[in-house]
Structure 1
Amino acid sequence: MTLHAALHVTRETFALDVDLTIEPGEVVALLGPNGAGKTTALRALAGLLVSDSTIRLGESTWDDLPAERRPIGVVFQDYLLFAHMTALDNVAFGLRARGTRKADANAVAARWLDQVGLAEFAGAKPRTLSGGQAQRVALARALATDPELLLLDEPLAALDASTRLRVRSELGRHLRDYPGHTLLVTHDPLDAMVLADRLVILENGRVVQHGTPREVVRQPRTDYVAHLVGLNFYRGTADGTEIHLDEGGALTVAEPVSGPVHVVFPPSAVSLYPEKPVGSPRNTWPATVAGIEQHAHTTRVELDGTPTVLADITTATVAELRLQPGDPLWVSLKATEIHTYPR
């Protein structure tokens, strides 16, 4: 059965108005900048705040159910394991709170600890567990009650980079086996792209874009989404192969289009030169280095010009050009690297 949620929360300076659907076995990722309403949406679903929301699963509604009676499992960012309890008791807690006999609850908890690869840590206290182990105990606790909806609130944010890759893979495996509905709240685009079947992007309490990871990556609709997926993003008006950009400047594209369009291309498609280049590129313009930032194996250069642009270049190129903020350069971009789609 499809989960339908119409989430409406009003505060003094903020209003959330979001409609969500989640299919059985589907993982939906909720992304957005700070203050967009991600945590508010999660808390409304969990029944942790007063709202005018409507939540329906099949013929049943959860609107009037208090948090403790909703068929929901939650994994919080900091896991919130009970420090005085063992891992086994933490996992069994939800079942015990719902009236399950201790022996039966412990048996279910033991099975879940085994399923997440922590059977030998059943008697361990949270302070003795690594971050990855604590995350798995929290996941087991959330799933032990057989919830209809699993809420994951930044479930990997507390992990260091070396642990995060492994735990993300493990979490993905467990989510694929979970038959219920999953909502993942995250600020990390990689977590969302790897774990989610569908993305919902929030800005200022509203949905600005939704779709599969592939759809969102290929056609961002806002500056935030474009930044999230790492693309240069512009709005313009096309007339044949010429696009006049709203912020100034023009670009030539390979295929003729017309009317209002979005324009995107990756920073890796941008080339930089100390002098105006000659040859095949159909787009060149002068710019000034505004910032330089190391990104893994490449260097991202922010350039002020008409238009402004981001370029990803190798460290060797940085050394060759001896780049410094304020340096004048020429930007070059092939028409075939530019992707357009209707606004």
Structure 2
Amino acid sequence: MTLYADLQVSRGSFNLSLDLTVEPGEVVALLGPNGAGKTTALRAIAGLLALNGGRIALDGSVWDEPPRTFRTPDRRPIGVVFQDYLLFNHLSCLENVAFGLRARGVDKQIARSEAARWLETVGLSEYARTRPRALSGGQAQRVALARALATDPSLLLLDEPLAALDASTTLHVRAELGQHLQRFEGRTLLVTHDPLDAMVLADRIVIVEDGQIVQEGKPTEVAHRPRTDYVAQLVGLNLYQGTASGTTVTLTEGGTITLAEPTTGPVHVAFPPTAVSLYPTPPSGSPRNTWPAVVTGIEQHAHTVRVRLDASPTGPSTLLADITPAAVADLHLTPGQPLHTTLKATEVHTYPV
């Protein structure tokens, strides 16, 4: 059955108001900036933080519904992997994995046998007697995951599970974690600020800003149709709002953008930075979208350079353009430099507000 969580939490001046569902076999990612309320939501579902209002229920069993009902964490069928894993350094990996089972009253030998089976599942049988301090970050993450799954939880909660890893380890461990989650038949809620973790691991992404859900959907939908500036920046798109009439969108912030295909009504307008070209002088011909602009920032992005621009009142107020290092040299780019920009109408996408 579905996990249903209507989360109403107040902490000082911060108010969290989220309505979440997670289906069996589904991985849902809570994605948002620091301070958005992601960890507060996870702690409330785990029973580490009581609701001020709302309701959390699974399989017809109510976990939290103030003021009448509150189940403590040990009475909720959950497994949790924390950001720092929180393994017990005085216990071996085997005893760490067996800990949750022993805490639930399982016989010591049965708990150890089950723990050994889980260590084998995550590929760490040979580390059964090893203490956590001797493990790599990726190995510690797998032990924490085995400990969480050993209790056969109905709900798996992952709090920034890859944040403690170095960049060279993250790619491999992310792939391994994805394989384990695909086999997990319960429900998984992943809290992360990393869009790549969410895009790779989740079946559905819920974007949280300032304690509210601002967008949710499948990873491809969120990536191609962002609805806030935060999401657009995550996926690397220019995003605006406006009103379309035919092939012209009048932007809410001022200026217009010409489209390749006609549409009508309030729309989001999105296009990749690679669709923006930069010129030292007005381009020849008659491009449908061309505006003077001023360079406000230059950033290295992998094999490209991202240029931030303030455009003229006739177009978007700000623009992102991705160009090659060779183009940066040819244009002699510096902050404050005036340029001319063009945008390919065929790469502009619109969708309803």
- What's the TM-score once normalised by structure 2's chain length? 0.95
Aligned with 2:320 (options 286, 297, 310): 310
Aligned with 2:157 (options 147, 151, 165): 151
Distance 2:102 2:72 in 1: 18
Partner AA of 2:345 in structure 1: A
The residue aligned with 2:12 is 12
Distance 1:5 1:134 in 2: 30
Structure 2 unaligned spans of 5+: 65-69
Distance 1:248 1:84 in 2: 62
The residue aligned with 1:338 is 348
Aligned with 1:193 (options 171, 175, 199): 199
2:225 equivalent to 1:219: yes
Shift of 1:53: 4.0
The residue aligned with 1:261 is 267
Distance 2:330 2:130 in 1: 55
Aligned with 2:287 (options 281, 284, 287): 281
Shift of 1:188: 0.4
The residue aligned with 1:125 is 131
Larger deviation: 315-324 or 126-135? 315-324
3-state SS, counterpart of residue 180 of structure 2 = helix
Distance 1:71 1:138 in 2: 16
3-state SS, counterpart of residue 304 of structure 1 = strand
Shift of 1:219: 1.3
The residue aligned with 1:54 is 55
Shift of 1:280: 5.9
Partner AA of 1:170 in structure 2: E
The residue aligned with 1:168 is 174
Larger deviation: 318-327 or 126-135? 318-327
Partner AA of 1:335 in structure 2: A
Partner AA of 1:289 in structure 2: V
Distance 2:284 2:37 in 1: 49
**Cα contact 1:44–1:53 (8 A) shared by 2:** no
Distance 1:53 1:99 in 2: 32
Distance 1:281 1:194 in 2: 37
3-state SS, counterpart of residue 62 of structure 1 = strand
The residue aligned with 1:32 is 32
Distance 1:247 1:158 in 2: 40
3-state SS, counterpart of residue 210 of structure 1 = strand
- What's the TM-score once normalised by structure 1's chain length? 0.98
Question: RMSD value over aligned CA atoms?
Answer: 1.0
Aligned with 1:65 (options 49, 68, 71): 71
Distance 1:279 1:169 in 2: 48
**Cα contact 1:237–1:243 (8 A) shared by 2:** yes
Shift of 1:224: 1.0
2:247 equivalent to 1:241: yes
Identity %: 70
Partner AA of 1:336 in structure 2: T
Shift of 1:27: 0.1
